[in-house]
Structure 1
């Protein structure tokens, strides 16, 4: 079968909803033909466009799936496409042992278990998209064993230490100070922090509305005295007339925020301690648990549906049972 230019899948250039419409408007047969052709040619651009359309219309996150998740899925689809091309896979009818070999190859390349799991999740999403398009019935990763990381996340990436947070704050400008405190005091995810608008900030009631958290769930979090002070200073510095422009932070992209804090850590002479954004969120969760001893309250604060997730965000002191055990009879 030979595609004409009009039949080729157009790579994604607009928003997720626009992309989805390029597929949902097709007849069932036209969609199937496009998906079959993309799989046959092992065309990454076309397979990713199909997967993105599926994610936008057929998943709970829909068009509001986070950019971070989309980046991870895109990389995973790319890795699978390259592997299929290099190893002569038939994507629509993969051999029974091929998916296991794919996972083994990823592990043998030195990738961490969590990264391998993310790659397999993306591959599974691609096959859900192919089934959605009617191109195949294959579900090759259902029974594939995935490597497990026996080291707890809180050990691999613990919360920032208080002295590091204080050093960063001491060298931060107004924007950086607010960003740090939204992570380390308000416990926000980076996407939530970058999306905060002045309309979400209630300094009088000491509350912040997270309007669109993960899964598009809203929640309110308390504002610490330091964060209120930083927000007030930032507002006076960048909005002296009180016009309250929409976004609190001028930073818009994940990469820009990462680079900004990385340079700040370098300025402090502590660049080796900078580990991204999540360690700041864990810092907030750990501080709150130390004060409340209540995982349920911490889960609500961090926006977790499951308390088990919250347990991975809280570092417990190694000696927290010493006094209790000391009094055993």
Structure 2
């Protein structure tokens, strides 16, 4: 784990411990006050402390998860008061009403699931503090998604990736190869450190900190090596991280702008579509799901099966010459 990441985790753990260290009466009073005043910052401090202290990932909870839960908390609070819902006495149908509201607002089923998880965590935190016993989301289920996984965020084709690289500046080219060749997620790109690039190894690779803070090695293609060497040589004093942009939104904006310049469709693919390009190409060229699993660092081969569908979608239909 990098020193930067360790510092962030210690800071997170310190904030959580300051809340968890309160005596039961003080913790309860703080929660009651935050809920009564609909104090978003106060409620977030309690929720964050609960996730770190009692959650399955503890202090290793990811930045993405925390960000999603914070957004979920803010979304729920914005809905609750106008909907006549008391935080401490939400009523038996509040959870169902909230999910129906999210569906009516047009959120994708996956987004509804994340918001629902945040709502469940909020009330778990309030019960932890002793502020209330309510569990309005206990029996609430997010709707199923009728759209197959492979119909969402499709991969960029090999020709699309080549076109993006022809139009890309040096840093944009790094983003493209980190996604479409190495298979990194946007957040993994922004947190990648220069010291974790091993371009002179007999078989060049990089070491990435992925989901659940797992550190894994990923092989580099000749194209990725060339792009990375060019970037590192041009930016020797740019700090410990590979990229100069450090947020997922900045990466998304950069790729969207590049797609517009290159005439490549961005919508429905976004940054994660580059990762899908890597997995699809590996499976198309090797027919080996284990190779996809290893390169994309999936926990199980089940997560890799989607690339069979992506690869098949690009093939000629069997009835094409009938």
Pairs aligned (count): 307
Query: 2:283·2:307 contact (CA, 8 Å) conserved in 1?
Result: no
Partners of 2:231 and 2:286 in 1: CA distance? 30
Query: 1:214·1:303 contact (CA, 8 Å) conserved in 2?
Result: no
- 2:214 pairs with one of 209, 212, 217: 217
1:200 maps to what in 2? 196
Q: Larger deviation: 277-286 or 287-296? A: 287-296
Partners of 1:110 and 1:231 in 2: CA distance? 40
1:161 maps to what in 2? 157
SS in 2 for 1:180: helix
SS in 1 for 2:257: helix
2:312 maps to what in 1? 317
- 1:52 pairs with one of 32, 48, 51: 48
1:129 maps to what in 2? 125
Partners of 1:79 and 1:217 in 2: CA distance? 30
Partners of 1:319 and 1:48 in 2: CA distance? 45
1:294-326 CA-partner distances (Å, limit 9, x unpaired)? 323322221221322222455131486977xxx
2:272 maps to what in 1? 278
CA RMSD of aligned residues (A): 2.4
Unaligned runs of 5+ in 1: 1-13, 324-329
CA pair 275-211 structure 1, distance change in 2 beyond 3 A: closer
TM-score by length of 1: 0.85
1:178 maps to what in 2? 174
TM-score by length of 2: 0.86
1:196-226 CA-partner distances (Å, limit 9, x unpaired)? 2222111223343434210011111110010
CA pair 132-297 structure 1, distance change in 2 beyond 3 A: farther
Question: CA offset at residue 273 of structure 1?
Answer: 4.8
Question: CA offset at residue 151 of structure 1?
Answer: 0.6
1:102 maps to what in 2? 98
1:237 maps to what in 2? 234
Query: 2:255·2:271 contact (CA, 8 Å) conserved in 1?
Result: no
Q: Larger deviation: 267-276 or 100-109? A: 267-276
SS in 2 for 1:316: helix
Partners of 2:267 and 2:43 in 1: CA distance? 38
Query: 1:209·1:218 contact (CA, 8 Å) conserved in 2?
Result: no
